[in-house]
Amino acid sequence: MKKDVFKYQILVIEDNLGDFLLVEDYLQEMILDPNIKHCQSFKEVKNLFKDNRTDWDVLLLDLSLPDREGENLIEDILKMAGDIPVIVLTGYTDANFALKSLALGVSDYLLKDELNPTTIHKAITYNIERHKNLKRIHLSEKRYAELFELSPQPMWVFDEETFMFLKVNKATEKTYGYSKEEFLKMDIFQIRRPEETNQIKETLAKTGNKEHKSVFMGIYEHIKKDGSPISVEIHSNIIDFESRKARLIVANDITLKITYLKAIEEQNQRLQEIAWIQSHIVRAPLARMMGLIDLIKHNNLSDEEKHEFLDHVLNSAIELDNIIREIVSKANEIESKDRNNPLT
Protein backbone atom coordinates (compact mmCIF):
# COMPACT_ATOMS: atom_id res chain seq x y z
CA MET A 1 0.00 0.00 0.00
CA LYS A 2 1.29 3.46 -0.96
CA LYS A 3 1.70 5.71 2.07
CA ASP A 4 0.69 9.37 2.37
CA VAL A 5 3.87 11.44 1.82
CA PHE A 6 2.55 14.67 3.31
CA LYS A 7 4.66 15.87 6.27
CA TYR A 8 1.90 15.95 8.89
CA GLN A 9 2.57 17.71 12.22
CA ILE A 10 0.35 15.78 14.68
CA LEU A 11 -0.08 16.41 18.40
CA VAL A 12 -1.58 13.47 20.33
CA ILE A 13 -2.96 14.38 23.76
CA GLU A 14 -3.44 11.04 25.52
CA ASP A 15 -2.61 9.95 29.10
CA ASN A 16 -2.91 6.22 28.33
CA LEU A 17 0.44 5.09 26.89
CA GLY A 18 -1.08 1.96 25.34
CA ASP A 19 -3.70 3.99 23.48
CA PHE A 20 -1.04 6.43 22.28
CA LEU A 21 1.19 3.64 20.94
CA LEU A 22 -1.80 2.18 19.08
CA VAL A 23 -2.63 5.55 17.52
CA GLU A 24 1.04 6.05 16.64
CA ASP A 25 1.14 2.65 14.89
CA TYR A 26 -2.00 3.49 12.92
CA LEU A 27 -0.55 6.83 11.81
CA GLN A 28 2.79 5.34 10.77
CA GLU A 29 1.02 2.61 8.82
CA MET A 30 -0.79 5.19 6.66
CA ILE A 31 1.67 8.11 6.63
CA LEU A 32 5.25 7.85 5.41
CA ASP A 33 6.97 10.16 7.87
CA PRO A 34 4.61 11.87 10.34
CA ASN A 35 5.95 14.23 13.00
CA ILE A 36 4.07 12.97 16.10
CA LYS A 37 4.28 14.72 19.46
CA HIS A 38 2.81 13.15 22.61
CA CYS A 39 1.44 15.00 25.67
CA GLN A 40 -0.04 13.16 28.67
CA SER A 41 -1.64 16.03 30.65
CA PHE A 42 -3.32 19.36 30.15
CA LYS A 43 -0.42 21.10 31.90
CA GLU A 44 2.02 19.54 29.45
CA VAL A 45 -0.07 20.78 26.51
CA LYS A 46 -0.27 24.25 28.01
CA ASN A 47 3.51 24.43 28.42
CA LEU A 48 4.01 23.10 24.91
CA PHE A 49 1.85 25.81 23.36
CA LYS A 50 3.61 28.38 25.50
CA ASP A 51 7.14 27.36 24.47
CA ASN A 52 6.79 25.49 21.16
CA ARG A 53 5.97 27.32 17.94
CA THR A 54 5.34 24.19 15.84
CA ASP A 55 2.54 24.70 13.32
CA TRP A 56 0.42 21.67 14.15
CA ASP A 57 -1.80 20.35 11.36
CA VAL A 58 -4.14 18.53 13.74
CA LEU A 59 -4.67 17.72 17.44
CA LEU A 60 -5.89 14.29 18.56
CA LEU A 61 -7.47 14.70 21.98
CA ASP A 62 -8.45 12.16 24.64
CA LEU A 63 -11.29 13.52 26.80
CA SER A 64 -9.97 12.24 30.13
CA LEU A 65 -6.63 13.62 31.35
CA PRO A 66 -5.29 13.53 34.92
CA ASP A 67 -5.68 17.29 35.41
CA ARG A 68 -8.62 18.16 33.11
CA GLU A 69 -11.47 16.29 31.43
CA GLY A 70 -14.75 16.52 29.57
CA GLU A 71 -16.30 19.80 28.46
CA ASN A 72 -13.82 21.99 30.36
CA LEU A 73 -10.92 20.21 28.67
CA ILE A 74 -12.46 20.72 25.23
CA GLU A 75 -13.06 24.43 25.80
CA ASP A 76 -9.51 25.05 27.08
CA ILE A 77 -7.84 23.03 24.31
CA LEU A 78 -9.88 24.83 21.64
CA LYS A 79 -8.77 28.21 23.01
CA MET A 80 -5.13 27.18 22.75
CA ALA A 81 -5.54 25.45 19.39
CA GLY A 82 -7.01 28.49 17.68
CA ASP A 83 -7.61 27.53 14.05
CA ILE A 84 -5.98 24.08 14.34
CA PRO A 85 -8.56 21.27 13.87
CA VAL A 86 -9.14 19.19 17.02
CA ILE A 87 -10.29 15.55 16.68
CA VAL A 88 -11.59 13.90 19.84
CA LEU A 89 -10.55 10.26 20.46
CA THR A 90 -12.59 8.80 23.30
CA GLY A 91 -14.06 5.69 24.82
CA TYR A 92 -17.31 7.57 25.66
CA THR A 93 -20.24 6.32 23.60
CA ASP A 94 -22.65 9.04 24.73
CA ALA A 95 -24.15 10.43 21.49
CA ASN A 96 -25.44 13.56 23.22
CA PHE A 97 -21.97 14.41 24.49
CA ALA A 98 -20.56 13.79 21.01
CA LEU A 99 -23.03 16.31 19.56
CA LYS A 100 -22.23 18.79 22.32
CA SER A 101 -18.50 18.41 21.62
CA LEU A 102 -19.06 19.18 17.96
CA ALA A 103 -21.19 22.17 18.92
CA LEU A 104 -18.34 23.45 21.09
CA GLY A 105 -16.08 23.47 18.05
CA VAL A 106 -14.20 20.17 17.74
CA SER A 107 -13.74 19.04 14.14
CA ASP A 108 -14.57 15.37 14.63
CA TYR A 109 -15.46 12.79 17.31
CA LEU A 110 -14.07 9.23 17.00
CA LEU A 111 -14.61 6.25 19.28
CA LYS A 112 -11.41 4.43 20.22
CA ASP A 113 -13.08 1.02 19.88
CA GLU A 114 -13.83 1.76 16.21
CA LEU A 115 -10.39 3.13 15.31
CA ASN A 116 -8.25 1.58 12.59
CA PRO A 117 -5.51 2.98 10.33
CA THR A 118 -7.93 3.89 7.55
CA THR A 119 -10.52 5.68 9.70
CA ILE A 120 -7.98 7.76 11.60
CA HIS A 121 -6.13 8.71 8.39
CA LYS A 122 -9.37 9.66 6.64
CA ALA A 123 -10.48 11.71 9.63
CA ILE A 124 -7.18 13.61 9.73
CA THR A 125 -7.03 14.36 5.97
CA TYR A 126 -10.74 15.24 5.80
CA ASN A 127 -10.68 17.59 8.78
CA ILE A 128 -7.46 19.31 7.74
CA GLU A 129 -8.90 19.97 4.27
CA ARG A 130 -12.28 21.02 5.67
CA HIS A 131 -10.53 23.42 8.04
CA LYS A 132 -8.62 24.95 5.13
CA ASN A 133 -11.87 25.46 3.23
CA LEU A 134 -13.52 27.02 6.28
CA LYS A 135 -10.58 29.41 6.61
CA ARG A 136 -10.99 30.38 2.95
CA ILE A 137 -14.71 30.96 3.49
CA HIS A 138 -14.10 33.04 6.62
CA LEU A 139 -11.48 35.07 4.76
CA SER A 140 -13.88 35.60 1.88
CA GLU A 141 -16.64 36.68 4.28
CA LYS A 142 -14.23 39.04 6.01
CA ARG A 143 -13.24 40.62 2.71
CA TYR A 144 -16.89 40.93 1.68
CA ALA A 145 -17.70 42.57 5.03
CA GLU A 146 -14.82 45.01 4.54
CA LEU A 147 -15.94 45.81 0.98
CA PHE A 148 -19.46 46.43 2.27
CA GLU A 149 -18.42 48.48 5.29
CA LEU A 150 -15.74 50.57 3.56
CA SER A 151 -17.57 51.16 0.27
CA PRO A 152 -17.78 54.89 -0.58
CA GLN A 153 -21.32 54.26 -1.85
CA PRO A 154 -24.26 53.85 0.54
CA MET A 155 -25.14 50.15 0.90
CA TRP A 156 -27.69 48.41 3.09
CA VAL A 157 -29.51 45.12 3.57
CA PHE A 158 -33.21 44.93 4.42
CA ASP A 159 -35.63 42.11 5.20
CA GLU A 160 -37.93 41.28 2.25
CA GLU A 161 -40.88 40.51 4.55
CA THR A 162 -40.67 43.20 7.24
CA PHE A 163 -38.77 45.81 5.16
CA MET A 164 -36.63 46.49 8.25
CA PHE A 165 -33.00 47.50 7.84
CA LEU A 166 -30.69 44.61 8.78
CA LYS A 167 -27.31 46.14 8.04
CA VAL A 168 -25.96 49.50 6.83
CA ASN A 169 -22.48 50.71 6.00
CA LYS A 170 -20.70 53.89 7.07
CA ALA A 171 -21.46 55.68 3.79
CA THR A 172 -25.19 55.18 4.41
CA GLU A 173 -24.89 56.73 7.88
CA LYS A 174 -22.93 59.67 6.46
CA THR A 175 -25.27 60.26 3.51
CA TYR A 176 -28.59 59.97 5.34
CA GLY A 177 -27.60 61.34 8.75
CA TYR A 178 -28.92 58.43 10.84
CA SER A 179 -26.68 56.34 13.09
CA LYS A 180 -26.40 52.57 12.60
CA GLU A 181 -28.44 52.03 15.78
CA GLU A 182 -31.22 54.29 14.45
CA PHE A 183 -31.28 52.52 11.07
CA LEU A 184 -31.68 49.09 12.68
CA LYS A 185 -34.91 50.30 14.31
CA MET A 186 -36.30 51.66 11.02
CA ASP A 187 -37.88 50.26 7.86
CA ILE A 188 -37.00 51.37 4.34
CA PHE A 189 -40.16 53.49 4.00
CA GLN A 190 -38.83 55.94 6.58
CA ILE A 191 -36.33 57.32 4.08
CA ARG A 192 -39.07 57.76 1.45
CA ARG A 193 -42.13 59.95 1.13
CA PRO A 194 -45.20 58.30 2.78
CA GLU A 195 -47.27 58.45 -0.40
CA GLU A 196 -44.72 56.27 -2.23
CA THR A 197 -45.08 53.19 0.03
CA ASN A 198 -47.44 51.26 -2.27
CA GLN A 199 -45.34 52.04 -5.32
CA ILE A 200 -42.21 50.71 -3.58
CA LYS A 201 -43.96 47.48 -2.61
CA GLU A 202 -45.16 46.98 -6.19
CA THR A 203 -41.65 47.53 -7.56
CA LEU A 204 -40.18 45.04 -5.08
CA ALA A 205 -42.84 42.47 -5.97
CA LYS A 206 -42.07 42.80 -9.69
CA THR A 207 -38.35 42.24 -9.18
CA GLY A 208 -38.77 39.56 -6.50
CA ASN A 209 -38.54 36.63 -8.91
CA LYS A 210 -35.09 37.59 -10.19
CA GLU A 211 -33.15 35.77 -7.51
CA HIS A 212 -29.39 36.21 -7.36
CA LYS A 213 -29.46 38.68 -10.24
CA SER A 214 -28.56 42.31 -9.97
CA VAL A 215 -31.57 44.50 -10.74
CA PHE A 216 -31.50 48.20 -11.60
CA MET A 217 -34.55 49.61 -9.87
CA GLY A 218 -34.34 53.21 -11.08
CA ILE A 219 -33.78 56.74 -9.85
CA TYR A 220 -35.70 57.80 -6.73
CA GLU A 221 -35.94 60.65 -4.28
CA HIS A 222 -34.95 59.74 -0.72
CA ILE A 223 -35.32 61.84 2.43
CA LYS A 224 -32.42 62.44 4.82
CA LYS A 225 -32.79 62.70 8.58
CA ASP A 226 -32.85 66.52 8.38
CA GLY A 227 -35.74 66.34 5.89
CA SER A 228 -33.74 67.36 2.82
CA PRO A 229 -34.30 65.33 -0.36
CA ILE A 230 -31.57 63.57 -2.35
CA SER A 231 -31.72 61.85 -5.73
CA VAL A 232 -30.35 58.28 -5.73
CA GLU A 233 -29.79 55.64 -8.37
CA ILE A 234 -30.75 52.26 -6.87
CA HIS A 235 -29.39 48.80 -7.70
CA SER A 236 -30.81 45.78 -5.87
CA ASN A 237 -29.77 42.16 -5.39
CA ILE A 238 -31.71 39.39 -3.60
CA ILE A 239 -29.53 37.58 -1.04
CA ASP A 240 -29.78 35.23 1.94
CA PHE A 241 -28.84 37.13 5.08
CA GLU A 242 -28.72 35.27 8.39
CA SER A 243 -31.29 32.73 7.13
CA ARG A 244 -33.63 35.44 5.87
CA LYS A 245 -34.59 36.46 2.35
CA ALA A 246 -33.20 39.94 2.06
CA ARG A 247 -32.17 42.63 -0.41
CA LEU A 248 -28.76 44.19 -0.80
CA ILE A 249 -29.14 47.78 -1.99
CA VAL A 250 -26.44 49.94 -3.54
CA ALA A 251 -27.44 53.61 -3.69
CA ASN A 252 -25.56 56.09 -5.84
CA ASP A 253 -26.20 59.67 -4.71
CA ILE A 254 -26.71 61.60 -7.96
CA THR A 255 -28.17 64.77 -6.42
CA LEU A 256 -25.36 66.97 -7.77
CA LYS A 257 -25.57 65.25 -11.14
CA ILE A 258 -29.32 65.92 -11.37
CA THR A 259 -28.77 69.53 -10.27
CA TYR A 260 -26.10 69.90 -12.95
CA LEU A 261 -28.35 68.45 -15.65
CA LYS A 262 -31.13 70.83 -14.65
CA ALA A 263 -28.65 73.72 -14.79
CA ILE A 264 -27.62 72.66 -18.30
CA GLU A 265 -31.28 72.51 -19.36
CA GLU A 266 -31.86 76.01 -17.98
CA GLN A 267 -28.68 77.21 -19.69
CA ASN A 268 -29.81 75.74 -23.00
CA GLN A 269 -33.17 77.46 -22.58
CA ARG A 270 -31.46 80.83 -22.00
CA LEU A 271 -29.16 80.25 -24.97
CA GLN A 272 -32.20 79.53 -27.11
CA GLU A 273 -33.74 82.80 -25.92
CA ILE A 274 -30.55 84.66 -26.85
CA ALA A 275 -30.46 82.99 -30.26
CA TRP A 276 -34.10 83.94 -30.85
CA ILE A 277 -33.38 87.56 -29.83
CA GLN A 278 -30.42 87.65 -32.17
CA SER A 279 -32.33 86.17 -35.09
CA HIS A 280 -35.60 88.10 -34.65
CA ILE A 281 -35.58 91.09 -32.32
CA VAL A 282 -32.15 92.40 -33.41
CA ARG A 283 -33.19 92.28 -37.06
CA ALA A 284 -36.13 94.72 -36.64
CA PRO A 285 -34.19 97.91 -35.63
CA LEU A 286 -31.30 96.87 -37.88
CA ALA A 287 -33.61 96.54 -40.89
CA ARG A 288 -35.16 99.95 -40.11
CA MET A 289 -31.72 101.55 -39.91
CA MET A 290 -30.64 100.02 -43.21
CA GLY A 291 -33.87 101.21 -44.89
CA LEU A 292 -33.55 104.74 -43.51
CA ILE A 293 -29.89 105.03 -44.52
CA ASP A 294 -30.81 103.84 -48.04
CA LEU A 295 -33.53 106.51 -48.28
CA ILE A 296 -31.15 109.22 -47.15
CA LYS A 297 -28.44 108.03 -49.55
CA HIS A 298 -30.50 107.65 -52.72
CA ASN A 299 -33.13 110.41 -52.39
CA ASN A 300 -32.82 114.15 -52.78
CA LEU A 301 -34.12 115.12 -49.34
CA SER A 302 -34.43 118.51 -47.79
CA ASP A 303 -32.41 119.28 -44.67
CA GLU A 304 -35.55 119.02 -42.56
CA GLU A 305 -36.36 115.57 -44.00
CA LYS A 306 -32.78 114.43 -43.49
CA HIS A 307 -32.89 115.47 -39.82
CA GLU A 308 -36.20 113.64 -39.38
CA PHE A 309 -34.80 110.45 -40.98
CA LEU A 310 -31.60 110.69 -38.93
CA ASP A 311 -33.68 110.94 -35.73
CA HIS A 312 -35.37 107.68 -36.75
CA VAL A 313 -31.95 106.11 -37.37
CA LEU A 314 -30.80 107.26 -33.92
CA ASN A 315 -33.90 105.81 -32.24
CA SER A 316 -33.33 102.49 -34.00
CA ALA A 317 -29.67 102.53 -32.91
CA ILE A 318 -30.72 103.16 -29.28
CA GLU A 319 -33.22 100.30 -29.53
CA LEU A 320 -30.50 98.04 -30.96
CA ASP A 321 -28.10 99.06 -28.18
CA ASN A 322 -30.67 98.13 -25.52
CA ILE A 323 -31.21 94.75 -27.18
CA ILE A 324 -27.46 94.10 -27.24
CA ARG A 325 -27.20 95.06 -23.54
CA GLU A 326 -29.98 92.56 -22.75
CA ILE A 327 -28.12 89.83 -24.66
CA VAL A 328 -24.89 90.61 -22.77
CA SER A 329 -26.78 90.53 -19.45
CA LYS A 330 -28.28 87.11 -20.19
CA ALA A 331 -24.86 85.81 -21.27
CA ASN A 332 -23.33 87.07 -18.00
CA GLU A 333 -26.04 85.28 -16.01
CA ILE A 334 -25.15 82.01 -17.73
CA GLU A 335 -21.43 82.52 -17.07
CA SER A 336 -22.07 83.39 -13.39
CA LYS A 337 -24.20 80.27 -12.83
CA ASP A 338 -21.53 78.11 -14.49
CA ARG A 339 -18.91 79.50 -12.13
CA ASN A 340 -21.08 78.73 -9.08
CA ASN A 341 -21.95 75.20 -10.21
CA PRO A 342 -19.90 72.71 -8.10
CA LEU A 343 -19.64 70.24 -10.99
CA THR A 344 -18.07 72.65 -13.50
Q: Rg of the chain's alpha carbons, rounded to an integer? A: 41
On whether residue 4 sits in a domain, the answer given is no
Question: Are residue 318 and residue 263 in the same domain, yes or no?
Answer: yes
Domain boundary among 132, 147, 162: 147
On whether residue 1 sits in a domain, the answer given is no
Domain boundary among 204, 222, 253: 253
**pLDDT tens digits along 208-246:** 665 545 576 788 899 999 999 998 988 888 888 888 889
**Letter for the amino acid at 335?**
E
User: What pLDDT score was predicted for residue 209?
Assistant: 60
On whether residue 3 sits in a domain, the answer given is no
**pLDDT tens digits along 148-201:** 898 899 999 999 999 999 999 999 999 999 999 999 999 999 999 888 888 888
Helix (H) or strand (E) holding 17: helix 17-30
Residue 321 to residue 308: CA distance in whole angstroms = 20
> Model confidence at 121, in pLDDT bands (50, 70, 90)?
very high
Question: Are residue 176 and residue 93 in the same domain, yes or no?
Answer: no
Question: Are residue 224 and residue 300 in the same domain, yes or no?
Answer: no
Question: Are residue 192 and residue 313 in the same domain, yes or no?
Answer: no
Phi-psi region of 302 (alpha: psi -120 to 50; beta: other; left: phi over 0): beta
**Letter for the amino acid at 246?**
A
Cβ of 77: how many Cβ atoms within 10 Å? 26
- The average pLDDT across 50-73 equals 87
Stated length of the chain: 344
Closest CA to 263 of 337, 206, 314: 337
First vs last Cα of the chain: how many Å apart? 76
pLDDT, mean over the chain: 84
Question: Are residue 289 and residue 200 in the same domain, yes or no?
Answer: no
Domains identified in the chain, total number: 3
Residue pair 154/171 in contact (Cβ under 8 Å)? The answer is yes
Question: Are residue 169 and residue 226 in the same domain, yes or no?
Answer: yes
Question: Are residue 57 and residue 128 in the same domain, yes or no?
Answer: yes
On whether residue 294 sits in a domain, the answer given is yes
On whether residue 239 sits in a domain, the answer given is yes
> Model confidence at 1, in pLDDT bands (50, 70, 90)?
low
On whether residue 230 sits in a domain, the answer given is yes
Question: Are residue 84 and residue 175 in the same domain, yes or no?
Answer: no
Give the CATH number, domain containing residue 115: 3.40.50.2300
Question: Are residue 89 and residue 171 in the same domain, yes or no?
Answer: no
- The average pLDDT across 278-291 equals 70
Give the CATH number, domain containing residue 234: 3.30.450.20
User: What pLDDT score was predicted for residue 66?
Assistant: 92
Domain boundary among 253, 276, 300: 253
User: What pLDDT score was predicted for residue 208?
Assistant: 66
Look up the domain containing 57 and give its range: 9-147
